[in-house]
Amino acid sequence: MTAIDEPGAVADPSLDGPAVGVIVVAAGSGTRLGAGIPKAFVSLAGSTVLEHALAPVFRLRDAVQVVVVVPADRVGQAETIGRRAAGKAADHLRVVAGGDTRQSSVLAGLAALWPGVRTVLVHDAARALTPTGQFERVIEAAERTGWGIVPGLAVTDTIKRVDASDLVEQTVDRTALRAVQTPQAFPRDALVAAFRVAEDRLAAATDDAALYADAGHPVLTVGGSEAAFKITTPWDAQRAERLLADRERDREHEVGARTTTSIRTGIGIDVHAFADDGELSLAGLSWPGERPLAGHSDGDAVAHAIVDALLSAAGLGDIGSMFGTDDPRFAGASGEVFLRAAVERLHAAGFVVVNVAVQLVGNRPRFAPRRAEAEGVLSALVHGPVSVAATTTDALGFTGRGEGVTAIATALIERR
Ligand code: CTP
Ligand code: MG
C-alpha cells in the first residue's frame, strides 16, 4: 500500500506529473558560431535553433517535463518560442535563467524540476536536429537499467595518442571508443548528488556523464545518430540548414506521392471496320438502319475504348488480357457486358470512377442527335459521368473513307 492509498492521506499533485524531465541547456553565448547573438536564438531555415531543438521533445509518446535554460535576458523570448514548440502541451514547459558555465546552467535546470521527476535527461539545444528516436532510446535504457545513459557513435577515424611534442606514441583501438552526444539520462537524485559532490570540479567536466561516473555510478552507451551533431561553427549551421531543407523537400515529395497514388488516369483506343450485315451497336445504343461494325464481339468501339481506359487507369491490363478476345463466351457479346465486368473489377481493386471522356472518330452514324442518350446509358454502366464527343477526319484516312470508326477514351479513377 502506498502512502497515497492510506486512509486520510492527501495526494501531492506534483507527484502525479511526468516521471521524466528533459533539461534543454541553451544559455551559451555561441562564441564560435559568431552570430552576435546567443546560439539558441540564431535562425536556421526560418526557425530558431531552440525551436528546432524542442520540436522532437514534444513528439515523444509519453509526456515529459521540459525545462529550458537560457541567458537571463532571453527568458521572455524563450517562453514565446517554447510555447510555440509545445503547442497544447505548454503547461509541461518551464523556462529558467542559466549561468556562466554549462554546468551552472544544468544546475539551474535541475532546480526547476517538478518533484515527481525520477529520470532526468540533459540535452544541448545546440544538437538541434536530434531525432525523437534518440530521446526514446535513452529514456527506455535509463528506465530499464537505472544507470546513466549516453548516446554515442562508433569512432570511424583512426585515433593516435601523441606526446607533448606531437610525436605519435600509439594507435588507439577505436573499436573501444564512442563519440558521445546528448541527451544524456540519469536517475535524478543520483545526478543532483554527483553535482553536489563535484562542486569544485564542475568546470573541468566536459559532459554530465563524466561527473556522474566520477561519483562511482555506471554509465551505459546506446546508439546515437549522425543528425544529433552539435552546431558549433558557421559550417555546422549551414550544414544543419541544408539538412532541414532536405527534410522539407522529402516531406513535400511524400505528400505529392500520396496525392498521385489515390487519383489515376488511363487511356484506351479501339478501332472497328464496318461490316455488311446486321445492326450497329455503338456507345451502348442500337442504331437501326446504320451499317454495323465487324468484330468478335458486337464491335462497340466506344464501349471497348472505355473498358481499356478504365483497366489501364487501374493497372489491370486491357480488354484482351482480361476477357480473351478469342474466348467463345464473349462471341457477339455486347459492349455492355465488357463494361459491367470491367467496372466490377475496378471496384474490387478499390477504385471508383471519377469521370470518363470519349472521342468518336468517323463519318457515321451522326452522333449528335443521340449524344445525351448515349451518355446516360454509359454513365449508368460505369457509375460515373461519361461524356462522348464525335468528329470526322475531313475525308482523310480510313475513317474519312468510311471504312470504320475509331474511339479514344480517357478515364480518371480514384482509390476509395
Ligand atoms: N550552455 C549553457 N550555458 C552555458 C554554456 C553553454 O546552457 N553557460 C549550453 C549551450 O547553449 C549549448 C550547450 O550548452 O546548447 C553546449 O555548449 P556549446 O556548444 O559550447 O555552446 P556555446 O557555449 O553557446 O558555444 P561557444 O562555446 O562557441 O560559445
Ligand atoms: Mg561553450
pLDDT of residue 257: 67
pLDDT of residue 15: 58
Residue among 25, 54, 75 to mutate when testing ligand 1 (max atoms within 8 A of CB): 25
Q: Say whether 188 sits in a helix, a strand or coil.
A: helix
For atom 6 of ligand 1, which residue has the closest CA? 28
Question: What average pLDDT does the segment 341-357 reach?
Answer: 92
Q: How far is the CA of 30 from the centre of ligand 2 (A)?
A: 7
Ligand number with the minimum distance to the CA of 25: 1
The three grid cell numbers given for residue 305, joined into one nine-digit string: 475504348
Ligand 1 atom closest to the CA of 40, numbered from 1? 11
Report the candidate in 414, 416, 359, 358 with the shortest Cα–Cα distance to residue 391. Answer: 359
404-415 sheet: strands from edge to edge:
263-273, 404-415, 351-361, 386-391
Report the candidate in 297, 296, 278, 305 with the shortest Cα–Cα distance to residue 362. Answer: 305
Identify whether the C-beta of residue 128 lies closer than 8 Å to the C-beta of residue 52: yes
Report the candidate in 211, 156, 206, 152 with the shortest Cα–Cα distance to residue 180. Answer: 152
Run of H or E residues at 376: helix 371-382
Look at the pTM and tell me if it is higher than 0.75.
Answer: no
Q: How far is the CA of 27 from the centre of ligand 2 (A)?
A: 9
For atom 17 of ligand 1, which residue has the closest CA? 28
Q: How far is the CA of 26 from the centre of ligand 1 (A)?
A: 6
* Residue in the block written with cell 556522474: 212
pLDDT of residue 14: 54
Identify whether the C-beta of residue 281 lies closer than 8 Å to the C-beta of residue 299: yes
Tell me the per-residue pLDDT of 121-135, one tens digit each, with 9 for 90 and over.
999 999 999 999 999
State the Cα–Cα distance between residues 172 and 158, nearest whole angstrom.
Answer: 8
For atom 7 of ligand 1, which residue has the closest CA? 27
State the Cα–Cα distance between residues 134 and 127, nearest whole angstrom.
Answer: 12
Question: What average pLDDT does the segment 260-282 reach?
Answer: 91
Q: How far is CA 403 from CA 305, 335, 366, 397, in A?
A: 18, 20, 15, 9
Ligand number with the minimum distance to the CA of 124: 1
Q: How far is the CA of 37 from the centre of ligand 1 (A)?
A: 12
State the Cα–Cα distance between residues 38 and 45, nearest whole angstrom.
Answer: 17
For atom 1 of ligand 1, which residue has the closest CA? 28
Ligand 1 atom closest to the CA of 26, numbered from 1? 11
Q: How far apart are the first and last CA of the chain?
A: 54
Identify whether the C-beta of residue 113 lies closer than 8 Å to the C-beta of residue 15: no
State the Cα–Cα distance between residues 281 and 365, nearest whole angstrom.
Answer: 10
Between strands 119-124 and 20-25, the pairing is parallel
Tell me the per-residue pLDDT of 217-251, one tens digit each, with 9 for 90 and over.
999 999 999 999 999 999 999 999 999 999 888 88
Name every protein residue with a CB atom under 6 angstroms from any ligand 1 atom. 25-33, 39-40, 69, 98-102, 105, 124-126, 230, 232
- Answer whether residue 371 shows pLDDT above 60: yes
Report the candidate in 357, 354, 416, 341 with the shortest Cα–Cα distance to residue 383. Answer: 354
Question: What average pLDDT does the segment 396-407 reach?
Answer: 96
Q: How far is the CA of 416 from the centre of ligand 1 (A)?
A: 52
Ramachandran bin of 63, using left for φ above 0, alpha for ψ from -120 to 50, beta for the remaining angles: beta
Which has more pLDDT, 5 or 154?
Answer: 154
Ligand 1 atom closest to the CA of 232, numbered from 1? 19
* Residue in the block written with cell 545526478: 191
Residue among 74, 102, 130, 232 to mutate when testing ligand 1 (max atoms within 8 A of CB): 102
Partnered with residue 43 across adjacent β-strands are 48
Identify whether the C-beta of residue 270 lies closer than 8 Å to the C-beta of residue 304: yes
Q: How far is the CA of 170 from the centre of ligand 1 (A)?
A: 32
Question: What average pLDDT does the segment 312-334 reach?
Answer: 84
- Answer whether residue 363 shows pLDDT above 80: yes
State the Cα–Cα distance between residues 326 and 286, nearest whole angstrom.
Answer: 24
Ligand number with the minimum distance to the CA of 33: 1
Question: What average pLDDT does the segment 268-287 reach?
Answer: 94
State the Cα–Cα distance between residues 309 and 316, nearest whole angstrom.
Answer: 10
How many Cα atoms occupy the beta-carbon half-sphere of 250 within 13 Å?
6
Between strands 280-282 and 285-287, the pairing is antiparallel
Which has more pLDDT, 259 or 399?
Answer: 399
Identify whether the C-beta of residue 267 lies closer than 8 Å to the C-beta of residue 414: no
Identify whether the C-beta of residue 209 lies closer than 8 Å to the C-beta of residue 180: yes
Local confidence band at 259 (pLDDT 50, 70, 90 cut-offs): low
For atom 16 of ligand 1, which residue has the closest CA? 124
Q: How far is the CA of 39 from the centre of ligand 1 (A)?
A: 8
Around ion ligand 2, residues with a beta carbon closer than 5 Å are 28
DSSP string, 226-259: GGG----SHHHHHHHHHHHHHHHHHHHHHHHHHH
Q: How far is the CA of 39 from the centre of ligand 2 (A)?
A: 10
Local confidence band at 13 (pLDDT 50, 70, 90 cut-offs): very low
User: What does pLDDT average to over the chain?
Assistant: 92
Tell me the per-residue pLDDT of 66-109, one tens digit each, with 9 for 90 and over.
999 999 999 999 999 999 999 999 999 999 999 999 999 999 99
CA dihedral of 50, 55, 58, 60, whole degrees rounded to 10: -120
Strand segments (E) across 26-104:
43-44, 47-48, 65-70, 93-97
Ligand number with the minimum distance to the CA of 182: 1
Ligand number with the minimum distance to the CA of 105: 1
Identify whether the C-beta of residue 51 lies closer than 8 Å to the C-beta of residue 244: no
Local confidence band at 328 (pLDDT 50, 70, 90 cut-offs): confident
